[in-house]
Amino acid sequence: MRQIVDGVFEVGIGFVHAHLVVTDDGVILVDTGLAGRTAALAAALQETRRTVGDITAILLTHWHFDHTGGLAELRRGSGARVVAHHLDTPTIDGTRPAALTRLQRLLSVVLKPAEPAPVDVALTVDGPTPIPGFTAVHTPGHTAGHVSYLLDRAGGVLFAGDAASGGSRVRRPLGLMTEDRARSEESLRRLAGLSFGTVVFGHGKAVTSGGADSFRALVG
């Protein structure tokens, strides 16, 4: 576990990150990592002297199984409110079968499907979410209902999910996993127009300064 800014922690779960945000009103979790791997999150919570029961909300960036794998178990263990975009909600709650790309079908050997779980708040518009401090920004392309979250803390922290990948600079998301590359590109431009210093990603190292600038450099 790594603290990115005050009270925002990145937890590596295999090849994906989930993020914990400690607030006065409990812990907010952004994405849940792989199925069967919630012990990593429980251990990270313990380091902050908290437990799964302290999670009050789970914000999902998109339905992919590496982000929703732990959802059902964590929701049961915490009673947390689950927030996702309404366009990805049917895949998350199991009312629509997941539309897997060829690569995802190949990966399904190692990547267990997520157990479906109810979504309590299905986002239909951008702007403030019911979770204080978090603003939703619809960033479709990687999936139709991909949403990024902007946290009003430490100059702005963007939870980019898989709208982009991290590293020494911001990169485009993995093309083979992305449903609509043209829309994904539009979403990158949209993020480049916002104001935030820090960016955390589902995959790749967090960018801890000049966050929005690095999106601008990417989209030119």
Q: Which stretch binds Zn ion (CB under 5 A): 21-29, 45-53, 156-164, 181-189?
A: 156-164
Taking the alpha carbons at both ends of the chain, their separation in whole angstroms is 33
Minimum CB distance to Zn ion, residue 139 (Å): 12
What's the min distance (Å) between Cβ of 142 and Zn ion? 5
Under 8 Å between Cβ of 9 and 20: yes
The yes or no reply on residue 66 touching Zn ion (CB under 5 A) is yes
Q: Does 75 bind Zn ion (CB under 5 A)?
A: no
Q: Is 64 in the site for Zn ion (CB under 5 A)?
A: yes
**Which CA distances in Å does 55 have to 59, 74, 126, 148?**
11, 8, 23, 19
Q: Which stretch binds Zn ion (CB under 5 A): 22-30, 66-74, 91-99, 114-122?
A: 66-74
Spatial separation of the C-alpha atoms in residues 125 and 137, rounded to whole Å:
8
Assess 162 for contact with Zn ion (CB under 5 A).
yes
CB of 177 to Zn ion, least distance (A): 5
Q: Are 142 and 178 in contact (CB under 8 A)?
A: yes
| Rounded-to-integer distance, Cα 148 and Cα 138, Å | 6
Identity (one letter) of the amino acid at 64?
Answer: H
Q: How far is the CB of 64 from Zn ion (least distance, A)?
A: 4
Site residue total, Zn ion (CB under 5 A): 4
- Which residues lie closer than 8 Å to 125 by C-beta, 6 or more apart? 136
For residues 66 and 88, which CB has a smaller minimum distance to Zn ion in the complex? 66
Tokens 């518009």 label which residue? Answer: 125
The vertex-105 CA angle with 103 and 110, nearest 5°, equals: 95
Does the footprint of Zn ion cover residue 202 (CB under 5 A)?
Answer: yes
| Nearer to Zn ion among residue 66 and residue 73 (C-beta) | 66
Contact between 10 and Zn ion per CB under 5 A = no
Q: Which stretch binds Zn ion (CB under 5 A): 31-39, 60-68, 73-81, 150-158?
A: 60-68
Residues in the site for Zn ion, rule: CB under 5 A?
A: 64, 66, 162, 202
